[in-house]
Amino acid sequence: MLEKVQINDLKSWLNEKNQQITKPVILDVREAWELETAKINLLPDWPFDFLHIPMGDIKENLHQLDKNRPIACLCHHGRRSLIIAEMLQQQGYLYLANIEGGIAAWSGVIDTTVARY
């Protein structure tokens, strides 16, 4: 099922999936230069692993993603990540979310030390 998760609800979504299924993954589909500009800092009390696969490389790297593991997709504002989440859903991935607002929302609400661009 594909969920749209607001940035204020992301920690709850991650915690819920961690308790029900297994440790979730935040899949960052931005380009490498974007990741260098604004990278998520792993937060000690947030249960997630981080994986970066640019949008254009996803199809060749599906083997890196477990179909039964929760995946929250992230990009700059949420549009590219939604496209990838929908594609993963069509490929049979079970627990998907799109992080609405992307890294821009993350840097505005969760961690203001993350650069905005």
Cβ–Cβ contacts within 10 Å for residue 1, how many?
Answer: 8
Question: Using one digit for the tens of pLDDT, what is the confidence trace for 1-45?
Answer: 899 999 999 999 999 999 999 999 999 999 999 999 999 988 888
Q: What is the CATH number of domain 2-110?
A: 3.40.250.10
Give the residue extent of every domain in the chain.
2-110
62 phi, psi to nearest 5 deg: -60, -30
Q: Rounded distance, CA 45 to CA 83, Å?
A: 29
Q: Rounded distance, CA 41 to CA 39, Å?
A: 6
Q: Which helix (H) or strand (E) holds 18?
A: helix 10-20
Answer whether 112's CB lies under 8 Å from 7's CB: no
Q: Which helix (H) or strand (E) holds 40?
A: none
Average pLDDT score over residue span 43-56: 94
Q: Rounded distance, CA 66 to CA 69, Å?
A: 5
Cβ–Cβ contacts within 10 Å for residue 59, how many?
Answer: 11
Position 3, amino acid: E
Kindly indicate the confidence band of residue 56, based on its pLDDT and cuts at 50, 70 and 90: very high
Percent of the residues in the chain that have a pLDDT greater than 70, as a whole number: 100
Q: What is the pLDDT of residue 1?
A: 86
Q: What is the pTM of this model?
A: 0.96
